[in-house]
Amino acid sequence: MRMRTIFLIGILLLGISGTHRLVGQSSRSTQTLSYQAFKQQCVNFRTLNNSQIWIVYFWASWNSTSLYDFEQLKRMASLYSAYPIRFIGISEDKNAARWEQMFQEFQLPGDQVLLSESAQINDIKRAFQYKRLPGYFVVANLGDIYQVTSLEGLNKLLSQKLHELSPVGGPPTIPVVNPAPNPGVPVVQPQPSPQKKQGWVTHTVKPGETLYRLFVSYGVPVDQIKKINKLKNNNIIVGQVLKIRKIE
């Protein structure tokens, strides 16, 4: 796990006045947060007095690795839903409608921030210094930022920082995540057994599903699913039976 620390308050602009009370977030949310509101809350992070931790993750609708990590990220948010942890997703998608559709469809944890202007993107990049997607960061202590390179590293660091919190009543009891055989790695619930038909793994389309959703579930690229089923575009309909891959 690679880790570095930056003092968040000293990097984000300090010209914002006023206060913004932070509230707990549910593990699954469809709430959007404006860039200005997010920046103001960053500046006010010190007022929490080390009683809350933020998980900030960078993603984009066009980034396949981001989509693949969503299920594990959601499981982690669910495991820690009773703890003073806040999840915030940040994206610089140019297609706002597509961005909103994706975070609602995948039920991403926490608030979602869309960076729509170059100045906003540069501001956040100066603070978090992320260079590739997906990017995972823990904001703890009195505004220190810790970067990790994997969800496994995120879970380990999160457990450590939870022990360092100073809430009323002392540090919280930390849940055990996947105790065996590889502690610390969030476990993705197995997909329902796919249908087997004429030598193919098939899938019957359900309401709200997309080709991206099938990619996340089965690990088969969207272009390959389209080619197998001779689809001319990304449109699929409820009840449609799609071939996913040959049965080995």
* pLDDT tens digits along 74-121: 888 888 888 889 999 999 888 888 888 888 888 888 899 999 888 888
Specify whether the CB–CB gap between 2 and 156 falls below 8 A. no
Which stretch of DSSP H or E encloses residue 216? Answer: helix 211-218
Residue 247 or residue 7, greater confidence: 247
Whether pTM > 0.85 for this model: the answer is no
Q: What is the Cα–Cα distance from 149 to 133, expressed in whole angstroms?
A: 10
* pLDDT (tens digit per residue) in 43-86: 888 888 888 899 999 998 888 888 888 888 988 888 888 888 99
Relative to beta strand 53-58, strand 5-7 is unpaired
pLDDT value for 53? 92
E strand intervals along 66-184:
85-91, 111-114, 135-140, 144-148
pLDDT value for 45? 87
* pLDDT (tens digit per residue) in 159-212: 888 888 865 444 455 554 443 444 444 444 445 555 544 578 888 888 878 887
Which amino acid is residue 91, in one-letter code?
S
The counts of H helices and E strands in the chain are 8, 9
Q: What is the Cα–Cα distance from 187 to 201, expressed in whole angstroms?
A: 23
Whether omega for the bond prior to residue 171 falls within 30 degrees of 0, making it cis, is: no
Token pair, residue 229, equals 């089923």
Q: Is 100 exposed, middle or buried (0-12, 13-18, 19+ CB in 10 A)?
A: middle
Specify whether the CB–CB gap between 56 and 90 falls below 8 A. yes
* pLDDT (tens digit per residue) in 215-228: 877 878 888 889 99
Which stretch of DSSP H or E encloses residue 202? Answer: strand 200-204
Which amino acid is residue 197, in one-letter code?
K
pLDDT value for 97? 87
Which stretch of DSSP H or E encloses residue 223? Answer: helix 222-228
User: In whole angstroms, how far apart are CA 6 and each of 10, 56, 126, 193, 205?
Assistant: 8, 14, 10, 45, 45
* pLDDT (tens digit per residue) in 8-38: 544 443 333 333 333 333 333 457 888 888 8
Q: What is the Cα–Cα distance from 199 to 92, expressed in whole angstroms?
A: 41
Average pLDDT estimate for 111-137? 88
